[in-house]
Amino acid sequence: MARVAIVTGGTRGIGRAICEELKQGGMTVVANYGGNDEAARNFTAETGIVTYKWDVGDHQACLEGCAKVEQEVGPVDVVVNNAGITRDGTLHRMSFDDWNEVMRINLGGCFNMAKACFPGMRERGWGRIVNIGSINGQAGQYGQVNYAAAKSGIHGFTKALAQEGAKFGVTVNAIAPGYIDTDMVAAVPEPVLEKIVAKIPVGRLGHAEEIARGVAFLCAEDAGFVTGSTMSINGGQHMY
């Protein structure tokens, strides 16, 4: 029986690439999304992957959404916490709502999805959780105290939950992408983007498919000895 995977924020950008990669690897994939119904419909029409709508920052919505997936598709074996937003600005200009919304979705979403799916993985003795962090959670970034804090929190969350899951056959890992050629990065002004690319040793932006391949590796049947790790896929921009 095929493993069932939920990818949050799964209908566009990196999330879409992850969904397609996992499906190609033989998994039954479900894409969660939060708002854009038209994009979700187009995604399903083009990929054949079903979508479920809920806000990952809403704890009860995650519990109910994942229960619905389990009932209609099957027990959830893989969770990829990819959903995320930005509300950039310096601390001087950042509102509490800008801070809170990024923390609620980017970091809170990881907790909510784990609470919904980790118990079942533990009981069945197998599971894979992959959390999408960021180079900016590792190195920080001007104007992103909210985003950097949330993504840095994901890395700590990953290491702690990995210790809980290890003896139950549940691995928990993170991927920290660098700058990837998605819509989010495309919105960056061209002069700023040129300066960013100039700092990437490989001399280009990354591709969503490159992140997806990393996720597929961490979700594989034979990846059970990899847990608590953060895989940096950033073209050499940040090394430590």
Catalytic annotation, residues = 147
Q: What are phi and psi of 160, to 5 degrees?
A: -70, -45
Distances (CA, A) of 100 to 59, 95, 126: 15, 9, 33
For residue 213, the one-letter residue type is R
Rounded CA separation 73/99 (Å): 35
Exposure string (b/e) for 104-123, b if CB count within 10 Å is 16 or more? bbbbbbbbbbbebbbebbbe
Q: To the nearest 5 percent, what fractions of the chain are helix, strand and coil?
A: 50, 20, 30
Which is it for strands 50-53 and 28-33: parallel, antiparallel or unpaired?
Answer: parallel
DSSP state of 11: T
